[in-house]
Structure 1
Amino acid sequence: MRQNPQTAGRLRPVDLARRHGLSTQAVRNYEAAGILPAAGRTPHGYRTYTALHAHALDAFLALVPGHGHGTATAIMRAVNRDEPEEAFRLIDESHAQLLEDRRTLHAVERALRDLGPGAGPAPGDASGPGDMFVGALAGKLGIRPATLRTWERAGLVTPRRDPRTGYRVYTGADVRDAGLAHQLRRGGYRLDRIAPLIAQVRAAGGLEPLAAALHDWHARLAARGRAMLAGAAELDACLRDRDCDGPGRPPGAPGPRVA
């Protein structure tokens, strides 16, 4: 990274921006959001940054792919408040969510293995032991009844109506489809991507249409895990830089040289 030759050891906004192909306004926005420590100022009021700011920006941009923008922002704010325990807690929560997503994927795969060409009664069958009303099914899945009605409009479930009460009745096949939709939604799939998968499973009586989706899901979880490792490495470098330089260094004071 190039330094301002007139302020040895200090960096201009453009120096940080060029490092990652950002605009200088983006750098200022990151500072305003608390992602970067407060900048120092020249006697004329111009912002000056140091290696600590450069490492903070490196860490934030590396954290985003694995943790998301919001969590990465919260992590860096905690670091800049000199609250590393809070930053570690946020990272732990993110890893716990990744583990839960892996468990969700495995649950989907187990559910799919249990499905066969004739699994569950056909949607047009008469009432049977697997039939459920909307409230019971919503409770079983831990969602709101309104969510099931949204899924119905999207074609994910096709409940019939009880001829006497007019209530929606979900057959065993509907319960299965709702369970698959719920798991795929938790995996990050949009309704417009889930609907054709469930439709193909119904029509084909098999699970092949979901093979590509599951493969993609595995790949996305692996990419998140790898990104978390990369983010951890950059954050560790940022924290070591702060430890060596001292957490109480006044903003704008000369910091370590940046290659």
Structure 2
Amino acid sequence: MGEPVSGAERAALRTVDVARESGYSVQQVRDLERLGVLPPAARSGNGYRAYTAVHVHALRAYRGLAGAVGPVAARRLLAELRTGTLAEAAAAINEVHVRLARERDEALRAQQALRAIQAEAGTPEFEQDGDAMTITELAGALHVRTSTLRFWEQEGLVTPERVTSLRARRYDLSAIRAARIVAALRGTGYGVPAVREIVGSLHRLDGLGATGHILQQRLDQIATRTVALLRAGADLAAVVTLPAEPTTTTTTTTTTTRPVR
């Protein structure tokens, strides 16, 4: 969570004050206001920006949200939080938590599937060539469409054997193992190029180990994103509940320096 903002919550702050409190530079503060991360600052009598503590909270919340869902989604979410009701804001934040939990569950299922494959790899049954599946049987076992298996074949991810004059597909145990790994990786959000590279390494002795390492990295990334969201929690609450308008504005006059706009 962010540190408490010094001074009254609605006291007017200069751009440099907001930058110092939030950890962003003065230029970043201006840029993020222009992008809609911050509500528009009020203007003092001399035309200079007058921020409040809610702008600081918004910047801190943005940092956490960007770490959790990416900068584009974070900007959109903050805009929704400022304009929606409290119930809508709570629902939007809860949806991010649910999404991260779903990604974690998918990665854990993929990890469990990989461990099962590793356990099978050393058994005599796995080495036998008698067991095979048709495309319909394999699609049913993986809970995917047959068209998905054909797409994976086109992309070089899974290579079945072909039998009969009708070129019916037959998947041996090697192809079944590859298909299960592809399904696990695709289920955790990996794109086709990344999956292709992983599947290509399976002929090496460390192929399954490398895949396991990638899945663990995925789980670590999800954990980092979840912590970032948790850290943003108090600041998000402040963005929803605190007013953005200052109660007072400051007018600074000097002949030697100019206030930061």
How has the CA–CA distance of structure 1 residues 60 and 45 changed in structure 2, closer, same or farther, with 3 Å as cutoff? Answer: same
Encode CA deviations 1:112-154: one digit per residue, 9 max, x unaligned: 23222267878xx68x6522159x7399544683x54553354
1:51 aligned partner = 53
Q: Which runs of 5+ in 2 are unaligned?
A: 1-9, 250-261
For normalisation by structure 1, the TM-score amounts to: 0.71
| 1:16–1:205 Cα change, 3 Å | closer
User: Superposition pairs for residues 76-225 of structure 1, below 5 Å?
Assistant: 76-115=78-117, 116-117=120-121, 130-132=133-135, 137=139, 140-142=142-144, 145=147, 148-149=149-150, 151-166=152-167, 168-204=169-205, 207-225=208-226
DSSP-derived class of the 1:110 partner? helix
Distance 1:64 1:191 in 2: 25
Change over 3 Å in CA distance of 1:131–1:168 after alignment to 2: closer
What percentage of residue pairs aligned between the two structures are identical? Answer: 30
- Offset from partner CA, 1:46-69 (integer Å, 9 cap, x none): 433222212211211222112333
> RMSD value over aligned CA atoms?
3.7
- What's the offset of the Cα at 1:92? 1.4
Residue 24 of structure 2 aligns with which residue?
21
Q: Considering Cα pairs closer than 8 Å and 6+ residues apart, tell me whether 1 or 2 has the greater RCO.
A: 2
CA distance in 2, matches of 1:138, 1:33: 47
Q: Distance in 1 between matches of 2:45 and 2:228?
A: 41
> Where in structure 1 are there 5+ consecutive unaligned residues?
1-7
Task: Measure the CA separation in 2 of the matches of 1:77 and 1:194.
Answer: 35
Cα separation, 2, equivalents of 1:81 and 1:110: 42
Partner of 2:248: 254
Residue 14 to residue 166, structure 1, CA distance change in 2 (3 Å): farther
Q: Measured at CA, do residues 232 and 9 of structure 1 come closer, stay the same or move farther in structure 2, by a change above 3 Å? A: closer
Q: Give the TM-score taking structure 2 as reference length.
A: 0.70
> How far apart, in 2, do the equivalents of 1:189 and 1:67 lie?
16
Q: Which residue of 2 aligns with 1:62?
A: 64
2:43 alignment counterpart? 41
Instruction: Count matched residues.
Output: 236
